[in-house]
Structure 1
Amino acid sequence: MKKQWKLLEKIVLGKKTIESRWYKRRCEAWGKVRSGDTVFFKNSGEPITVRARVQKVIEFSDLTFSGMKKILKKYGGHDGIGSDDLNYFYHWVKGKKYCVLVFLQNPRRVQPFHINKKGFGSARAWLTMCNINAIRI
């Protein structure tokens, strides 16, 4: 996550209750995130510091720009997107065809730890695994 967006703090404070993933094609989070899963969060280049439980997941496919705007208007506030930021995000999601909304509950800080993303790709924003300890350093 981009540190300047301060999304981790919003998650911990309960101001960001949805994590969204927008893709041009079906990617890592699509079809793999389930209710009851635990998700971990970190800022880019930093250790993991926050975890939350997945309450529910909604997936959207074959999105049009109109459909994306509806999703952002309906869920954007819960995704930590302020109404002043909507125009930026309209531009950012343009051309995306898939969206995964991950509804978060019980967020909390964790003792910071690093992960080894070797084999996943250094720029990968979402990793799926059965046990976080498999990549914990």
Structure 2
Amino acid sequence: MNHVVYLDAKEKELDKLRNGQKSMIIRGAAGRKLPYGRVHPGDVLWFVENNGKGSVRCRATVKKVLNSEKLTEEESQKLISDYQAMLCLTPNQIKRWAGKRYLVLIEIENYREIVPFTIDRSNYGNMDDWLPVEDIESIKKKSHS
């Protein structure tokens, strides 16, 4: 399975992946929403920054996934703290994710830059920051050259 994953441009997540500071992605919510239970080792993640450009610039493979059980606020904070060396979260990001009832921690490997391409989001909601895709080719926008 392929997944298009939006990264926080303001917090420089893509730069941190590129330079090796960060090797894990986090998502969380009050309920079990995407990508909870839907991402698996061997899946490919295609990264886009949430800066409005919509350009996929790199990819990585999922190495390990941790789907948490229902967490208390304290358990959520401890889980983030335990993995902070791999997550490399800023204080703002810690505030955003700590306290979520369900967390998904995704360790990545084989990060690499690719020839950038844009995607067609028309089949996805505006607020989605994680897009599961069977075939990445099916959502690539065709260039008009």
Normalising to structure 2: TM-score of the pair?
A: 0.85
Residue 10 (structure 2) pairs with residue 4 (structure 1): yes
Match of 1:81 in 2: 89
State the SS of the aligned residue for 1:128.
strand
Per residue, is there more strand in 1 or in 2?
2
The whole-number CA distance in structure 1 between the counterparts of 2:94 and 2:11 is 17
Deviates more, 1:7-16 or 1:88-97: 88-97
Q: CA deviation at 1:2?
A: 2.4
Please say if residues 50 and 109 of structure 1, whose CA atoms lie closer than 8 Å, have aligned partners that are also in contact.
yes
The answer for unaligned runs of 5 or more in structure 1 is none
Q: CA deviation at 1:15?
A: 1.2
Q: 2:105 aligns with which of 87, 96, 101?
A: 101
Q: Which amino acid aligns with 1:27?
A: K
Question: Once the two structures are superposed, what CA deviation does each residue of 1:54-107 show, in whole Å capped at 9, x if it has no partner?
Answer: 00101102111111111111112211225xx2xx44532355211111100010
Please say if residues 59 and 114 of structure 2, whose CA atoms lie closer than 8 Å, have aligned partners that are also in contact.
yes
Q: 2:57 aligns with which of 49, 60, 63?
A: 49
Give me the identity figure in percent: 28
* RMSD after superposition: 1.5
Per residue, is there more helix in 1 or in 2?
1
Question: Once the two structures are superposed, what CA deviation does each residue of 1:20-79 show, in whole Å capped at 9, x if it has no partner?
Answer: 101111112111101011101111122011100100101102111111111111112211
Residue 27 (structure 2) pairs with residue 21 (structure 1): yes
Question: Once the two structures are superposed, what CA deviation does each residue of 1:4-30 show, in whole Å capped at 9, x if it has no partner?
Answer: 211111112221100010111111211
The number of residues matched between the two structures is 133
Match of 2:74 in 1: 66
The whole-number CA distance in structure 1 between the counterparts of 2:96 and 2:10 is 17
Q: 2:126 aligns with which of 122, 128, 135?
A: 122
The whole-number CA distance in structure 1 between the counterparts of 2:43 and 2:94 is 29
The whole-number CA distance in structure 2 between the counterparts of 1:69 and 1:23 is 13
